[in-house]
């Protein structure tokens, strides 16, 4: 049984290392984009976002954006017509099963 436990532990360690590498690769690409990118939940909440542009240019702390509805973030306050369109755009994307 001890052998099985060690084998399981090695598998878990390898899986964690693989996940960390995949996360590192994702972050490297995601945060090097020149345009703003966000990952939203099906309800429209910001789950993640690229780091460089909106936070640097908008001076908004990350914790004030993550978890908020995308159209209620500071970037859309000046554009009420866009704020009104975002919920329907998101519903269309969810129905279509694509971003």
Check residue 63 and give its pLDDT.
84
Q: pLDDT by residue (tens digit) across 66-80? A: 999 999 988 888 899
* pLDDT, greater one: 96 or 50: 96
Report the first-to-last Cα separation within the chain, whole angstroms: 47
* pLDDT, greater one: 63 or 66: 66
Check residue 58 and give its pLDDT.
56
Say if pTM beats, i.e. exceeds, 0.95.
no
Report d(CA 44, CA 77) in Å as an integer. 16
Q: Apex CA 77: angle with CA 76 and CA 79, to 5°? A: 65
């Amino acid at each position: 049984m001890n052998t099985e436990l060690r084998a399981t532990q090695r598998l878990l360690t390898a899986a964690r290392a693989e996940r960390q590498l995949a996360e590192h690769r994702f972050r490297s690409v995601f945060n090097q984009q020149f345009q703003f990118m966000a990952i939203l939940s099906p309800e429209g909440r910001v789950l993640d976002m690229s780091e460089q542009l909106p936070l640097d240019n908008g001076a908004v702390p990350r914790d004030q954006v993550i978890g908020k509805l995308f159209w209620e973030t500071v970037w859309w306050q000046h554009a009420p017509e866009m704020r009104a369109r975002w919920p329907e755009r998101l519903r269309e994307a969810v129905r279509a099963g694509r971003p």
